[in-house]
Structure formats: C-alpha cells, structure tokens
Amino acid sequence: MESEVLSEGHRPVRNNELECPVCSKTFDNLGQLNHHLDFDHGFDGDESKGGNGTSSGKFISQGEESLEADNKRVRHQNKLMIRNHWKKPSPEHQNCHVCKRPLNQINGCINCRKCGELFCKMDCRNVMRLNANAEYDPLNGRWVNCCYQCFIRRDGYNDYGSVVDLIDQFKTLRHKKNEDKKLMQLQLENRLVLLIDGISRILKKNGNGVFMSYRVSKEISLLERTVTAWKDDRAALNCPICSQSFGLTLRKHHCRLCGSIVCDNKTTNCSNQVPLAYLANAATDLPFKEFNPQTVDKDYSIRICSQCIHILYVGRKFRRDIEQPASILLARCESIYNLSQVISNIWPLLNSRLEEIENAQKQNASPNPALIAEATKLRKKLLRAVESYNILTRQISSMSPRNAAQKKIQQSFQIASSIFITEKILKLKSIPIISPRVNENRGSNESTPEVQKLSDIVFNDLTIKEIKVCREELMVLKEQKFLVESMIENAKKQRKFDEIAVLDRNLLELKGKIEEIQNRLGEQGFH
C-alpha cells in the first residue's frame, strides 16, 4: 500500500494538501488519504506490482488503470441502486409471491431486486448482477438477490449457466499482448544487431594483441551501455527471474540486451555467457553487416538473460523445426492416424447399409442389388484398411527410436493402436459375411465376399437379431448362475443343507442352459 501512495505521490502534493487520485477529494495528511483509498476505493489488495523489474512493466500499467476505473464505477453504482419499484408489505402483499406463505420473521420478507415483488427467504435465493437501474448487467453489476423467475428470464440464461460473450474483450487483450510481445522482440533484435556488429567492428579494428585487451574491453563496455541502458546496481536486491537475493556468493550481472540485473546461478540458468557466433548463427535472418563468424574471435561471448534468449530464439527454433521434414516414425504415425479415421468413417456407413438390407429382408421385399453391392464394396474397403492398419502397427513397433521423445511417441502409438484394434477389430467379427462361401476363411482378411442371396446374411444359421437375443439371454443366465452360486455359499455358511440341494439342482439346470446357448451362438458368443 505504501508504495502505491508513493508512486502516485508526485501528483497530489500541492499546497501541503493531499488530493485523492481517484475522486479528487483533499486530505490533510497521508494517513487520511491512505485510509480513504483503502476503504472508499478498495485499494487494500496487492496491486503494488507497478515496479516490475523487467522492461515489460510499462505495458502492464495500462491494464491496471482500466481495472481501477472499473472498480470505481462499480462501487459508485452500489450506492445508487433504485428501489422505487420495490413492493411494500401491505395487506395485499403479505404472502410470498410464489409459495404464498405468510411473510414474517421466520419465513423472511425480501424484495426481488429486479421485479420488486415480495418473496420469502426460500424463494429469493438466486443472485444476479444488476446495475443502478435494476437492469441485468453481467459485467459491471453488483451481485444482488432476485427471484427465480427473474433469474431464469435474464439474457443469455441457460440451464447449465449463463453465457457471457467475452470473446471480443479477450481478442483485444490478446491482440494488445501480442503487439507488445512483437514490439519487445523487435527492440531486442535491433539491440542484438547493434551489439554484435559493434563488437565485431571493435575486435576487427584492434586485432588480437594482448596489450590491447584493456582498451578493447573498455570500448566494448561503452558500446554495451549505449545499446541498452544498464539498470542501477543499487536498486537491485533480488534476481528478477529466480528471486534469490544477491550477495557475496550470488553476484549481479547485467543482461547486455535488456539491461536488467540478473544472477549467474548455474542451476536456475538465469543468465549465460553466449558466444557471438552462436547468437548470430541461430538468427541468420537478422541483418548483420560487420559480423563474420570466421574472423571474429570465437571465444568472445556476451551475457544474456534467459528471458531475452526465450523471446529471441524460441520462435526461431520452432519455425526451423517445422521446416525440417518429419522423421519416418512421425510419417508412419501420421498415416496410421489417417487410416484410423478412414476405418471409423466406414463403420457407420456399413452398419447403416446392413440395417437397410436387414429391414428389406424383414419385409420380404426383393433385395436392392445396388445396396448389396455397395455394402460389399464398403466391407472390402474396410478390410483392406484394417489390414494396412495392422501392417503399419507392426512397422511402428519394429522401428528403433532415435531419442527419448521418439521412444515415447512410439510407445503411445503402440498403446493407442492396440486399443483401437481391440475396439474395432473385435467388432469386425460381428460383421456378417455377405456370402456363406467365405464363412470358412472368415478369420483371414483376404476374403472376397460376393453377394448371392439376401438371406445369406447369417452366422451359424442365426440372424443378427437372434444373435442379439441369445447374447442377452446368455448374459442373464450367467448373472443368475453367479447369484445362485453365491446363494449356495450363503446357505453353506448357514448350514441349510436342504436349501443347498435345491439350489444345486438349479445351478445344474442353469449350466446346462448356458452350454446350450453357447453352442447355439458358436463363435458369436463371448470368449
């Protein structure tokens, strides 16, 4: 709090009077102003981040100003919210508007701030944001009680919550931030070019002589200070990046690009001595004029903080990585992904065709040959896709990864494809073969189904619907078997042997029935 008053102090001090920077009220001493700011304007938060160590501080300040203005507006409105639409308790209005309960001490007696009707406590529990005219204002309004009807009738209300469109706001903020970032980058780039060119020039001019070194370093240090203003050593107590306090062991260093004072801790990596050649080679798009990597002393390096390196080089590295062609593994992974998309797209199509055929079959209508041909084509396509999926999966698992990242990608693709296979390929088994002749080699994917008759869509002489019914029955029977088994266990514990006999008989019966249905289902049962 103290720092805030100080930073804004240069304005109010006039004729020994202090003026509030928000509402222009005057005060006799700092303490009063402080109190006024805290309680009337709500500055008791932690907004004292104005003195940000980095040069990005000035960009933030604008946002803070608008926040203050918002706060001011909201608090101003609170006091002025209209009440003349409020109904007063009277003989006509002595019951709750909704539940008709009498309004009294126990039930409560509250006006809905929006419609003004009188409600009991229970029926006026919703809250919404209203402005001074008791209108819905989702941004600047104050949270007040309202009735359920007003609550659900407000603009943008949904059962799952209200919708407030903040996209434009977000866009402007983001745009602003991006502009700031670009500006910052441009500034740093210009400084880097100036610095590297200048150092190269100085080094070239003076040659490599040992006794020149003092003059050279002096010249360079002068150049560095002209490129960017160095921050004052005395003001810096902590490293702005890692927040450790400077001392005998942790020395202060200036970043040659942004001028801020950072530490040289090897573990936090706040700043580094980076050779000029590295800096220039990593940013070849910058217009260096004097710099020549062959002639410049390769050992010469300048100190740059990690933030500047991040701003300057992360984007460049990313762009360069993208330009490089993807590795074989990644190419395979991409094609396997495309294949999985193809397979999942064909599924619903094929299923709908099969359903149409089945429906036609039910109505004993003559089969549509085009439909069946299409279904056959789709099935072929699906099988081919699944086959190549299998091949690709095997290829990916047989590859030897070059680094840890590739190994991770390989592993996750192996997991994903195994899940995909168990999901889809198992379903593949339940696709009816469109010809009974290929029933024998159903297991292999090379089957070439040909349509002969509509009624051929059967498995083990069961239609799809019968299979469904049988599976359901089997499931119920297995459930019951489990139940009876647990009943037998219970009966054994309670020594009810005559019950066990009955249950045992039932269990045998169940097992027989389960076996019967499993035989009927054949391969279509659960395994």
Binding site for other proteins (CB under 8 A): 472-473, 476-477, 479-480, 483-484, 487, 496, 498-499, 502-503, 506, 509-510, 513
The nearer residue to other proteins, 35 or 468, going by C-beta atoms, is 468
The nearer residue to other proteins, 415 or 476, going by C-beta atoms, is 476
The nearer residue to other proteins, 290 or 466, going by C-beta atoms, is 466
**Least gap, CB of 358 to other proteins (angstroms):** 22
First to last CA, the chain: 72
The nearer residue to other proteins, 330 or 483, going by C-beta atoms, is 483
**Least gap, CB of 518 to other proteins (angstroms):** 15
**Least gap, CB of 480 to other proteins (angstroms):** 4
The nearer residue to other proteins, 44 or 472, going by C-beta atoms, is 472
How far, in Å, CA of 22 to CA of 4, rounded?
13
How far, in Å, CA of 110 to CA of 118, rounded?
6
**Least gap, CB of 496 to other proteins (angstroms):** 8
DSSP-assigned states of every residue in 204-258: HHHTT-STTHHHHHHHHHHHHHHHSPPPPTTT--B-TTT-PBP-SSS--EE-TTT
**Least gap, CB of 502 to other proteins (angstroms):** 5
**Least gap, CB of 168 to other proteins (angstroms):** 53
**Least gap, CB of 514 to other proteins (angstroms):** 11
Place of tokens 């469904």: 468
How far, in Å, CA of 127 to CA of 118, rounded?
15
The nearer residue to other proteins, 286 or 502, going by C-beta atoms, is 502
**Least gap, CB of 355 to other proteins (angstroms):** 23
The nearer residue to other proteins, 186 or 475, going by C-beta atoms, is 475
Q: Which of 297, 308, 271, 296 is CA-nearest to residue 189?
A: 308
The nearer residue to other proteins, 35 or 465, going by C-beta atoms, is 465
72 CB contacts (<8 Å, ≥6 apart)?
22, 23, 41
What own/partner pairs with CB < 8 Å and gap ≥ 24 does 391-397 have? 392/332, 392/335, 392/336, 392/339, 393/336, 393/417, 393/418, 393/421, 395/332, 396/329, 396/332, 396/333, 396/336
Question: Which amino acid is it at 509?
Answer: E
Structure tokens at 34: 């402080």
485 and 507 Cβ atoms separated by less than 8 Å: yes
Hey, which residues does 95 pair with through a beta bridge?
102
